[in-house]
Amino acid sequence: MFNSSIQTIEQFKNILSQISQECYVSPCGELSEATIGQHTRHIIELYQCLIAGYDTNQVCYDKRERNKNIEESIPFAITQLEAIQEGLEKPNKELKVSYELGEDEVSLNSNYFREVMYNLEHAIHHHALIKVGIKAMTTIVLPDSFGVAPSTIQYRKVCVQ
C-alpha cells in the first residue's frame, strides 16, 4: 500500500517536472477552467490533512489550507510531494474522519491504512483529470499508467491474454 502510494507520487513528480509553468497555471477548458496546479494542490492537501491528523486521531479533509503557492509553483509542489513520500509510512491506528456537509458535521470511524488507500485512489482520479489537461495543452507523451488505477491495469493485462 505505501509502495503504491510512494510510486504513484514519484510518477507524478516526474510528470510535473516535464511541464512548463505556463501549462501548470493556465486554466484549461477540458478541466472546466481549473488548472493543473489547482488539481495538484487538492491532491497534496488531502494527503497533508491525513498526515497532520495522524497524531490527534482526527482528520478533516474539508479544513484544508488551500495554499496558493502549491498551485502556482511546480518546485514548491514537488517539495510538498517529497514531504508526503517521507512522512506517509506510519503504523495503522484508528482515526475519526470528519466531513462538513452544509451546516452539519459528520464524523466516521476509520483507520490510517484505509485513509492512505482513499488518498491513493483520490490522487489517481485527479491524475486522470490532469492527464486530460496536459494532453490538451502540450505534446508531452505521458505513461499509459498515469491516472489509471492499479486494478484497472491488472484487468487490462488479463484481457490481453
Per-residue pLDDT reduced to its tens digit, 58-94: 999 999 999 999 999 999 999 999 999 999 999 999 9
CB 12 within 8 A of CB 127: yes
Report percent pLDDT > 90 for the chain: 86
Question: What pTM did the predictor assign?
Answer: 0.93
Average pLDDT over residues 101-116: 94
In 10 A of CB 151, how many CB atoms?
A: 9
Report the share of the chain in percent with pLDDT over 70: 99
pLDDT at 53: 97
149 pLDDT above the threshold of 90: no
Q: Checking DSSP bridges between strand 104-111 and strand 94-101, what pairing results, if any?
A: antiparallel
Cell numbers representing residue 26 in the block? 493556465
* 100 three-state secondary structure: strand
